[in-house]
Amino acid sequence: MSIQQSINKAFLRWLAPGFFSGTTMSDWLRILRENDFAVDAPYLSRAVVISLLSAGNSIGKGMEHAFHGQAIANTTVQPPLFVLGCWRSGTTHLHNLLSKDERFAYPSTYQVMNPHVFLTNEWWNAPLQNLFYPQHRMMDKVRMTTSQPQEDEFAIATTCGMSPMMTMSFWRNRDHYNSFTTMKDVTDEEIHAWKKSVDHFFRKLTVKYNKPLVLKSPAHTARIKLLLEMYPESKFVLVHRHPYEVFVSAVHMYEKNIEIMTLQRFNPKRLGSEIVKHFGGLFDAYFEQRSLVPANRLMEIGFTELDANPLGTIENVYQQLGLPDYSIAQPAISAYVDSLGSYQKNAHREIAPEFKQKVRDRWSRCFEEWGYEA
């Protein structure tokens, strides 16, 4: 390992602010109060970095509102295309493919991490932040840059804190934050605040690009009803994967991401059971709500199909959902597929027998609906 790699690893482990890099001071203090200021000693350095950044973000937010507030208030979000699917199901791959169509816009990593200020400072601050990014995501070999397509859930966590992402930092309050996946056990006031935060971010993206948005957040898989209330003409494409593969990959994801985001000690032995419960609630909510979407505005695809034939699968998505002429987007999508070359997916360990039974029981409808062998 080079000296630079060692420095980057140490920075990520002890100082990196994670998705709190773009939070404001008022939001940061609210989150700390919500968690009784329970930052464990090993992570105080990370909390100090977040606190320092939040002061600058507060100033930047005020400037952005002064320059762009009226335009944001007056804009209309065009009907979005939402990429759905549980964590580790292939949503990133699908999102990347669809994002190659220049007739769509997508939130970048910089924008979701800096939702309050990207309209005014992305041009100079994104290249600077790139210097501190790891070359790849912690849980796989997917390239990391500030300009790549990214999930809007990071922006939701940053702006209102009502997101399961928050469990990565405040593990002991995971039941509270995971409730914002299905939004079933939250108050009307919280739902209103969540909608306001989401819509404001989408409006800002619309001000910047003036194009329909292609958006990806695994948690949106359980929020179809709310998304339709906000954007009635939305379209949805869901990617699913064998439940055992999802589970094993998700454990790996949590282990890697919590390490660089947490502000509290956590017990990795609890991860498996928590994932079974949390993801089970997401699947239940999806199957309950998918009938709310007209058949021509929702499509389900398997990751195996997408992986084996990305161009044909994406063409089918365009046709079924009535997206713009696929032939215009095909060259860019094809070039992206070619650029992946010999990309190798992670080789994960086999699912433990006790969790195999839990997954089979709790996620049983995934096996039934999508034809997976148990």
pLDDT digits (tens, 9 = 90+) for 310-346: 999 999 999 999 999 999 999 999 999 999 986 556 6
Mean pLDDT for all residues in the chain:
93
Query: What's the confidence (pLDDT) of residue 11?
Result: 72
Which tens digits make up the pLDDT trace of 51-84?
999 999 999 999 999 999 999 999 999 999 999 9
What is the pLDDT at residue 14? 80
- Whether residue 105 is predicted with pLDDT greater than 90 in this model: the reply is yes
The number of beta carbons lying within 10 Å of the beta carbon of residue 189 is 8
* Architecture of the structural domain at 3-370: 3-Layer(aba) Sandwich (3.40)
Q: Which letter, b or e, does each residue of 290-302 get, where b requires 16 or more Cβ atoms within 10 Å of its Cβ?
A: beebeeebbbbbb
The reported pLDDT for the residue numbered 346 is 60
Structure confidence at residue 267 (pLDDT): 87
Between CA 98 and CA 325 the distance in angstroms is: 13
What pLDDT is stored for residue 218 in this prediction? 98
Q: Looking at the predicted structure, is the pLDDT value of residue 226 above 70?
A: yes
Pick from 373, 358, 329, 355: which is nearest to 212 by CA? 329
**pTM of the full structure:** 0.94
Residue 144's pLDDT band (boundaries 50, 70, 90)?
Answer: confident
- Whether residue 138 has pLDDT greater than 60: no
Q: How many CA atoms lie within 13 A of 198 on its CB side?
A: 26
